[in-house]
Amino acid sequence: MLKKINKIEKFTRRSAKRLLGNEGGETRGITLMETIFALAILVIGILSVLTMTTSSVVLSQASEQNLVVVNLAREGLELVRGVRDAALTNADVLPAGKNSFFAMDDGCYTIDASQNNFKLTSVIAGCNSVINCNDCRLYRDQATGMYVHNDAGAATLFRRAIQIQNEGGGVKILSKVAWSERGRNHEFTLEDYLTEWQ
């Protein structure tokens, strides 16, 4: 029985040497260093894919926010145009005590629309620092999907203020949107000039 085991051992050693191409006595196989290098290359490859994926998600979110911000600022300008047009027949859309859009005081305002009803509301502070203006915070109405200044919906990151400046024969409108992201404050402003002749 012992002879059979010895024969099997010799056969296995010879077979292993032939398979590894090592008939001269050298051992050829994967060393520990080669394994470590292979794992390092694999880890670097996986980390670079994860980094690119994370960067892609962050850039996608930033792009989405920028799109919302531009549209909120544009909507602010369009709503002011709507107030100007509606004020020709209905002074209720203007702040209290005003009967003409072009006779309004310079200052900061918030504006909302629902079912084609516009209303400019005066804000005491806000134009210099929209991000700190509590009255300027926008909420998203769950029923309509619109951004509004009353807290009927879910609070958002965004704040919007409309600055009106009378300039000989017309009104300069600045629609300012501010938001805070990852500890940094951002502000975006669109400007338009409205005249009395429409």
Is it the case that residue 89 has pLDDT exceeding 60?
A: yes
Phi, psi angle pair for 181, to nearest 5° = -140, 125
Residue 94: the pLDDT is 80
**pLDDT, average across residues 63-87:** 89
Query: Could you write out the DSSP letters of every residue in 104-122?
Result: PPSEEEEEEEETTEEEEEE
Residue 139 is encoded by which pair of tokens? Answer: 């909420």
For the cut 70, the answer to whether the pLDDT of residue 29 exceeds it is no
pLDDT of residue 69: 92
Instruction: Answer yes or no: are the C-beta atoms of 36 and 44 closer than 8 Å.
Output: no
pTM of structure: 0.71
Q: From CA 59, how far away is CA 119, in angstroms rounded?
A: 36
Q: How far is CA 32 from CA 43, 89, 172, 191, in A?
A: 16, 86, 73, 66
- The per-residue pLDDT for range 4-25, each reduced to its tens digit, is 555 555 555 555 555 555 555 5
Task: Report which residue type is found at 173.
Answer: I
